[in-house]
Chains A and B, each alone.
Chain A
Amino acid sequence: MGCDVLVIGGGATGLGVVRDAAMRGWSAVLVERVDLGQGTTGRFHGLLHSGGRYVVSDPRSATECAEENAILRRIAADAVEDTGGLFVTTPADDPAYADRFLAGCAEHGVAAEEVPVAEALRREPRLNPAISRAFEVADASIDSWTLLWGNARSAREHGARILPYHWVTGVLRDGDRVAGVTAQDNRGHREVRIEAGFTINAAGVWAGQLADMAGCPGVTVVPGKGIMIAMNHRLVGTVINRCELPGDGDILVPIHTVCVIGTTDVKAPTPDDLSIARDQVQEMLDAGEVLVPGFRESRALHAWSGSRPLFTDERADGAQDTRHMSRGLALVDHLERDGVEGFLTITGGKLTTYRLMAETVVDAMGEQLGDPRPCRTAAEPLPGSEDGRPYWLGSRLRRQEEVMPDDQLICECELMQRSRLEAAAASRPGLNLDDVRRVLRLGMGPCQGGFCTYRAAGVLHAIGDADGPRADELLLQFLHHRWLGIEPILAGRGMRQACIDDWIFQGALDVEHLPVTPPA
C-alpha cells in the first residue's frame, strides 16, 4: 500500500489531519492501533472550551480555543450542543480572581459577560446559592465521537483510507527519510506495509513512543491523567466552571442525558494506565458538592480516565525552533530537530483545537515538500452538519418516534434501534460492543448495559456477524469493560443497578458459565 501522506493515530487530531490532507488533494491513509477515538479523544469530559479556562494561565491557548470554538460551531454543528457556560466564584474560590478573569477575557478575545448572581441561580437552580459572582461565556458541550465520525466520513469522501485496529510495529526508513510504517492488522491478522511520501505522527499521548520508533528519541509526552465521572442526570443545563485558576474538579459539563465532572491531573506511569484511584473519585465528588450541593446524593453512572498529552522536549532546552506554538499545541519538526525528512509530530493540544493542530501540521508538511496548498477545513462543514443546526437533546427521541412502529429498540436508555446496530455491523464487520458504544452509545445510559448487552450480542449473532463463541466473548467483554468504569464509583442507586444487572446476567442468564473462557 502506498500514499502521499500517512497519519498515525485515530484520535481527533489524526482524523483532522487525514481529512485536511485529503481535502488538499494528497492521497492519505490513517492507521489507528485500536478503534477510532478509543484514546484521549473518547476519554474527556465533553467540553468545547470558550477559552475562559485559560485566559489567565495560558492566554495563547485561550485565544486559540475562542477562535476554534466559533469555527467548530459552524463546521461540526451536529456534534455541538449550545449549552452556554458560566464561570462562578464559589465560597472556596479566591474572590480576587474574578477581576483578573474578566480582564484576561477582554485582552485575549474571549467573550465574557457578568450576570447577576440571582440570574445565574434562576438559570441553574441547583447551583451553589453561596456563589458571589457569575460570568457568561460561550462554552458548549461536544460529542467527540460524532466529531470523529464526521471527520472520518469527510476524509473518506475525499479519498482517504482509514484503518482502525492497525498497530504500528515499525517505522520504515529510507536513509534520512521516514518512508512509511509496517503495521499489524489485528482484525485481518496479518502484517501490512504502508509506504508513504510523508508521515505525520498524531499519536497524541503515545507520540513519544512513535517518534522513538522513527529514530527521533527524546520527544517526551507526559501522560497527564485525569478522571471524570458522569452523573445520571443533567444536574445543570449550562457548563459550570469554577472562577479560579485551573484545578481539580472545577468543571461540570452537561452532555447528552448526563453531566460530567472533571477532572484531576496526575502524572501517569504510562499512557495505557487507565486505572481510577479511589481517592480521586472522592475528590471529584467533594468538588461536585462545591458546585452543586447534594452532588454526592445524586447517582454516579460511570467513571473513566484519560491522559492529556503534555509535551516536553528533552532536546529543545527552551529553544523555540522545535515548538512552534504554545504549550497547548506542539509541532515537532524532525527535519530541523533530528535531520529526519518526511516526518512531523503534532501533539499536545485539546479537543477544542484539534482542527487548528491539523491545519498547523499539514501546512508545515506542505512547506517541507515545497508544495504549500491552502487549508479549507475552517470553512467546509462536516457531513451531517451542513444545515448548521446544533445537536439538541431531543434529537434521538425525534428519530425514534419516526421509526417506532417498524424497528426494535435495543438500548432503551440511549434510544438505539436495531436497524442502526445492523447498519453499523454491515459497514464495519467484526466490530465489538465497545465499538458499537462509541458509534451508537450502546450501554451508556442508566442501566449501563443491563438490558442491551444481551440483545446486541444476540443481534450480531442473528445477522451472522458473530458466531456463538464470538457472541459470548463480545457479551462478557462488554460487561467487564462496563464494570471497569462502574466499580470505582459504586454507591447508592448505582450499586442497586449493578446488583440488578448481576441478577439478570448471572442470575437469569448464567453468563459466567457460557461455553467460552472469559476474555482477559
Chain B
Amino acid sequence: MTRVAVIGAGLAGLVCALRLAQGGADVTVFSRGTGGLHLTPGMIDVLGYAPERVEAPGETLAGWVAARPEHPYAQLAGAPLEEALDWFRGVAAPLRYGGDLAANMLLPTAAGVARPTAMAPAGMAAGDLRGGRRVVAVGLRALKDFFPAYLADNLRRAALPGGAAVEARHAVATWSPRPGADVQGHYFARALDEPGARAGLAAELRAIVEPGETVLMPAVLGMRASAEAWEDLCERAGAPIAEVPTLPPCIPGMRLNLLLTRALGEAGGRMVVGPEAVGVDGSGGRIDAVRIRDAARVRAVPADHVVLATGGFESGGVELDSYGAVREPALGLPVAGPPGGGRGLGPRHLDEHPLMAAGVRVDDRLRPVDASGAPVWGNLRAAGSIIAGAVPWREKSGEGIAIAAGHRAACTILEDT
C-alpha cells in the first residue's frame, strides 16, 4: 500500500487525504492544529471577482488564467477543477451543496453585501439574491456577531444584475439556549440540533415572518454535518430560511470539517493533530520520510508520497520574517515572493498587496519547483493556499483552488502508484 503523508488539515489537505484514502492509499494527515475550516464560511468560491464581479466562473476562468500564467488555476482550471467539484458534491451530499461553475450565486454576507460564490450548502443557497428577493433579517439577541438591521440596510442598497432589488426589513428573536447576554454561536448551533429547541425558535419566527419573505438568520442552525436541522426549522417556521455566515468560528465551516474528517476516518485514513512537520529525509530526488516533531523529539515517518497543504501566511504555511524575507518553514522549499522584488505591500488596506500571493510554485503535477522550474522532489506535491499566485480572499477563489488542488494532487499520486 502506498504510504502518503499529508501535512495540513485545512480544506486542501482533507480533500486530498480523503480522495487518496478512497483510492486505496495508506494516508496519514499531520496537522499542527485543527485546520482552517473552522474559520471559513463554508461556501465554495471558485472565482468571484476578476476584478469585476464574475457571473459565470467556469467561463471567466479561461481568460483569467491566460492572463495569469503564475496563478494556481493555470494548472487547475478546466477538467481538474470540474472533476474535483463533481467529486466534492458527492462527498458533501449530506450538506446538499448546490451551484456549479456555470453561474455564481449572490449570497448575503453578514455585512449585507451580495457576495458571489459558486457553490454553497442548501441552507445558504436559499438566500441567493439573484433576481431580487424579499427578506427579513432576524438576529438573535444574545448573539453579538450578527446585526440584522445593518445587514438589511445594506442589502437594500446592493447592486444586483438586471436592476433586481432586495426588499429587506429586520427583526430580533429572543430565543437563546442558555442564560446571559453574550452567547457564542456554537451554543446556539449545538442546541438547535435538538427538535425541542427548534420548536422554540420556530414559534418566534412564525410570528415575525410575512408571506413571501425569506428569513435570513445567522448560520448557527445546527452543528451536525447535515441539512436536517435547517430543513426542519424551515418546516416548523413555515417559511424559507437562509443561513448567513457570521464571524469565525463559522458553523458551516465546522460542519464541513466534521463531514470531511469523519469521511476520512471511514475511508481508513488517519489524522494526527499536534505534531509539526519540520523537514524531510530523501535521496536521489525523492523523499523517503517526513520529519515530524512530537512533544519532545523528532521522528522520521516513512512516506512514498508527501503532500504539503499547510496554507498561506494565515496558517503559518508561509512566513515573513522581520527583515522582509519570505520562507516556507516546514520543508524549506523555495518561495516565490512578490513579483518585482519589492515588499509587495500597498499603502491602502483594500489595495492589492502582491506579497499576499507569495507561496511555492508548482508544475502541472502540483510538484513544488525551484527557480529553474524543476521539481524539488519527485514525490512531493503542494495543495491549497500554499501555492503561489493567488490572493484568495480578494478573488473569492480559495475553496476552488483548495478542492481542485487537493483532488488533483491525490489523483496524480494514485496515477503514479
Question: At the interface with chain A, which of B1-9, B296-304, B392-400?
Answer: B392-400
Question: At the interface with chain B, which of A92-100, A190-198, A507-515?
Answer: A507-515
User: Within the complex, which residue of A410, A479, A506 is in contact with B393, where a contact is CB–CB below 8 Å?
Assistant: A506
Expressed in whole angstroms, the minimum distance between the Cβ of A464 and any Cβ of chain B is 9
Indicate the member of A410, A455, A503 with the most B CB atoms within 10 Å.
Answer: A503
Q: Does A228 sit at the interface, judged by CB under 8 A? A: no
Q: Does B147 sit at the interface, judged by CB under 8 A? A: yes
A482 to B349 CA separation, bound complex (whole angstroms): 9
Please tell me if the beta carbons of A499 and B316 are within 8 angstroms of each other in the complex.
no
**Which residues of A sit under 8 angstroms from B144, Cβ to Cβ?**
408-410, 418, 455
A466 to B182 CA separation, bound complex (whole angstroms): 23
Q: Does A500 sit at the interface, judged by CB under 8 A? A: yes
| Chain A, 289-305, CB within 8 A of any chain B CB | 296-297, 300
Please tell me if the beta carbons of A492 and B322 are within 8 angstroms of each other in the complex.
yes
Binary interface encoding of chain A residues 401-420 relative to chain B, with 1 for a CB under 8 A from any of its CBs, else 0: 00011111110000000100
Expressed in whole angstroms, the minimum distance between the Cβ of A419 and any Cβ of chain B is 9
Counting contact residues on chain B (CB < 8 A from A), the size range is 35 or more
Please tell me if the beta carbons of A514 and B111 are within 8 angstroms of each other in the complex.
yes
Q: Does A26 sit at the interface, judged by CB under 8 A? A: no
Binary interface encoding of chain B residues 111-138 relative to chain A, with 1 for a CB under 8 A from any of its CBs, else 0: 1110100000000000000000000000
A103 to B257 CA separation, bound complex (whole angstroms): 66
| Chain A, 471-489, CB within 8 A of any chain B CB | 471-472, 475-476, 479-480, 482-484, 487
Please tell me if the beta carbons of B394 and A509 are within 8 angstroms of each other in the complex.
no
A480 to B351 CA separation, bound complex (whole angstroms): 10
Contact (A468, B150) CB under 8 Å given A300-B322, A491-B321, A507-B392: yes
Please tell me if the beta carbons of A490 and B149 are within 8 angstroms of each other in the complex.
no
Closest residue of chain A to B49, judged by CB? Answer: A513
Q: Does B363 sit at the interface, judged by CB under 8 A? A: no
A406 to B245 CA separation, bound complex (whole angstroms): 25
Please tell me if the beta carbons of A518 and B313 are within 8 angstroms of each other in the complex.
no
Please tell me if the beta carbons of A515 and B320 are within 8 angstroms of each other in the complex.
no
User: Within the complex, which residue of B49, B150, B154, B315 is in contact with A462, where a contact is CB–CB below 8 Å?
Assistant: B150
Q: Does A461 sit at the interface, judged by CB under 8 A? A: yes
Closest residue of chain B to A476, judged by CB? Answer: B350
Please tell me if the beta carbons of A510 and B322 are within 8 angstroms of each other in the complex.
no
Please tell me if the beta carbons of A507 and B396 are within 8 angstroms of each other in the complex.
yes
How many residues of A are counted as interface, with CB atoms below 8 angstroms from the partner's CB atoms? 57
Please tell me if the beta carbons of A507 and B398 are within 8 angstroms of each other in the complex.
yes
**Which residues of B sit under 8 angstroms from A109, Cβ to Cβ?**
none
Expressed in whole angstroms, the minimum distance between the Cβ of B135 and any Cβ of chain A is 15
Please tell me if the beta carbons of A490 and B345 are within 8 angstroms of each other in the complex.
yes
Q: Does B332 sit at the interface, judged by CB under 8 A? A: no
Please tell me if the beta carbons of B312 and A499 are within 8 angstroms of each other in the complex.
yes
A282 to B343 CA separation, bound complex (whole angstroms): 14
User: Within the complex, which residue of A503, A508, A510 is in contact with B314, where a contact is CB–CB below 8 Å?
Assistant: A503
Please tell me if the beta carbons of B248 and A502 are within 8 angstroms of each other in the complex.
no
**Which residues of A sit under 8 angstroms from B398, Cβ to Cβ?**
503, 507
Please tell me if the beta carbons of A461 and B113 are within 8 angstroms of each other in the complex.
no
Please tell me if the beta carbons of B154 and A514 are within 8 angstroms of each other in the complex.
yes
Q: Does A324 sit at the interface, judged by CB under 8 A? A: no
Please tell me if the beta carbons of A508 and B250 are within 8 angstroms of each other in the complex.
yes
Q: Does A384 sit at the interface, judged by CB under 8 A? A: no
A81 to B117 CA separation, bound complex (whole angstroms): 50
| Chain B, 321-335, CB within 8 A of any chain A CB | 321-324
**Which residues of A sit under 8 angstroms from B316, Cβ to Cβ?**
496
| Chain A, 217-270, CB within 8 A of any chain B CB | none
Binary interface encoding of chain B residues 142-179 relative to chain A, with 1 for a CB under 8 A from any of its CBs, else 0: 10111101100110111100000000000000000001
Binary interface encoding of chain B residues 10-50 relative to chain A, with 1 for a CB under 8 A from any of its CBs, else 0: 00000000000000000000000000000111000000010
Please tell me if the beta carbons of A500 and B349 are within 8 angstroms of each other in the complex.
no
Please tell me if the beta carbons of A491 and B322 are within 8 angstroms of each other in the complex.
yes
Please tell me if the beta carbons of A511 and B313 are within 8 angstroms of each other in the complex.
no
**Which residues of A sit under 8 angstroms from B345, Cβ to Cβ?**
487, 490
**Which residues of B sit under 8 angstroms from A407, Cβ to Cβ?**
181-182
**Which residues of B sit under 8 angstroms from A285, Cβ to Cβ?**
322
Closest residue of chain B to A483, judged by CB? Answer: B349
**Which residues of B sit under 8 angstroms from A461, Cβ to Cβ?**
147, 149-150, 153
A297 to B356 CA separation, bound complex (whole angstroms): 21
Please tell me if the beta carbons of A458 and B147 are within 8 angstroms of each other in the complex.
yes
Closest residue of chain A to B159, judged by CB? Answer: A515
Contact (A499, B149) CB under 8 Å given A508-B245, A509-B113, A511-B111: no
Contact (A468, B154) CB under 8 Å given A455-B144, A492-B319: yes
**Which residues of A sit under 8 angstroms from B403, Cβ to Cβ?**
none
Please tell me if the beta carbons of B394 and A508 are within 8 angstroms of each other in the complex.
no
Please tell me if the beta carbons of A454 and B113 are within 8 angstroms of each other in the complex.
no
User: Within the complex, which residue of B159, B182, B313 is in contact with A495, where a contact is CB–CB below 8 Å?
Assistant: B313
**Which residues of A sit under 8 angstroms from B319, Cβ to Cβ?**
492, 495
Please tell me if the beta carbons of B40 and A508 are within 8 angstroms of each other in the complex.
yes
Contact (A462, B147) CB under 8 Å given A491-B322, A507-B392, A514-B113: yes
**Which residues of B sit under 8 angstroms from A410, Cβ to Cβ?**
144
A495 to B282 CA separation, bound complex (whole angstroms): 32
**Which residues of A sit under 8 angstroms from B393, Cβ to Cβ?**
499, 502-503, 506-507
**Which residues of B sit under 8 angstroms from A297, Cβ to Cβ?**
322
Known contacts A469-B157, A514-B113; 6 further A-B pairs (Cβ under 8 A): A278-B343, A409-B144, A461-B147, A496-B314, A507-B392, A515-B158
Can you give 28 A-B contacts (C-beta < 8 A)? A285-B322, A455-B144, A457-B150, A458-B147, A462-B149, A471-B150, A471-B153, A472-B111, A476-B350, A479-B350, A480-B349, A487-B345, A491-B320, A495-B313, A502-B314, A504-B248, A506-B350, A507-B40, A507-B41, A507-B393, A507-B398, A508-B41, A508-B110, A508-B247, A508-B250, A510-B109, A511-B113, A512-B350
| 4 A-B pairs with the lowest CB-CB distances in the bound complex, closest first | A458-B147, A468-B153, A483-B349, A507-B393
